[in-house]
Amino acid sequence: MTRPSLAHDVRVVDTTLRDGSHAMAHQFTEAQVRDTVRALDAAGVGVIEVTHGDGLGGSSFNYGFSHTDEMALIAAAREEARQAKIAVLLVPGIGTVDDLKRARDHGADMVRVATHCTEADVSPQHFAAARDLGMETAGFLMMAHRTPPENLARQARIMVDAGCQAPYVTDSAGALLMHEARARFEALLAEVGDEAWVGYHGHQNMSFGVANSVIAQEVGVRYIDGSLCALGAGSGNSPTEVLAAVFDRLGVSTGLDVMALLDAAEDVVRPYLTRWPKMDRNAIVQGWAGVYSSFLLHAETAAERYKVPTHEILRRCGELGLVGGQEDMIIDVAIRLAEVR
């Protein structure tokens, strides 16, 4: 697959309705999705991601049940979007090729296949399926801080050879310092830059999401993720409205209407927020200890149940090196901490 042509210096992908699902405990309604997509589309956002926070098939006991079936949300998003593409996330082992086919039937144009940063070899069958379905593709190398730049680049090569049009440096823990992010961007660009675009997905747990996005653009990364009001796991993602304003100040072409995005954040998303992601003790511990951002709500629930501090649970998860898909281990961590208190 060839990489798609881009009309602007940066293609901002909004993930309010996917990563933001974590902060919303996966309780998005169809009306909220319709309102948000309509506002993002009118503001010029070219790709809008819509699924359960853990991707297709994520609605479950382990990850949290959705309020509304994700296929209904994808279909609603497709109906509202006039120019934007609708993207879905797929984590192999959670979502299946059948889920991807259903998502395509309901209006998805693009899939972002997400694996742990050292496990890209589980993604080729999903990229092959996406090619057969005529979908655009991107690849998330999650927890990118957990492997050196040169190995991350080798994993990106696996994805690109399988049909990925945009491998991502995915800072799932919001842990990458600026020089660490730059090294990974440069490694991926050196490996696949002539064949695929490179993307960056940041979290604000240590406040580097926007700064690393600027570095990404400076070195040649073309896909950059954001969420309105920073709505996402942990302390949230790089705010889409802030990215638009910063890139506008820098003279970087995005095709985004800054004031329309500010209105969307303030008038559409903010009223339905059940929690506003913030850099509090728990979120900062996630970035500092390198903990998967979506562990936050699970850790808070376990902390309440077993009467141990959330930040202690998160710090121990970091020490154990837990990764996405091991949410069930948070309960084990909480029990063991309670036993020694």
Task: Give dist(CA 205, CA 281) in Å, integer.
Answer: 10
Residue 88 half-sphere exposure toward CB, CA atoms < 13 A: 35
Q: Is the dihedral of CA 246, 251, 256, 262 positive or negative?
A: positive
- Catalytic residues, which ones? 22
> Is 145 annotated among the ligand-binding residues?
no
Would you say 283 and 313 are in contact if contact means Cβ atoms under 8 Å apart?
A: no
- Rounded Cα distance between 230 and 240, Å, is 7
8 is in an annotated binding site: no
Q: Is 293 labelled as part of a ligand binding site? A: no
Look-up of token digits 């998805």: 108
Q: How many helices (H) and strands (E) does the chain have?
A: 14, 8
Q: Is 311 labeled as ligand-binding? A: no
Residue 1 CB: number of other CB atoms within 10 A?
Answer: 16
19 marked among binding-site residues: yes
Quote the CA–CA distance of 129 and 113 in Å, as a whole number.
11
> Does 52 count as an annotated binding residue?
no
Known binding positions for Mn(2+):
19, 201, 203
Binding residues: 18-19, 172, 201, 203, 292
Which residues are part of a known binding site for substrate?
18-19, 172, 201, 292
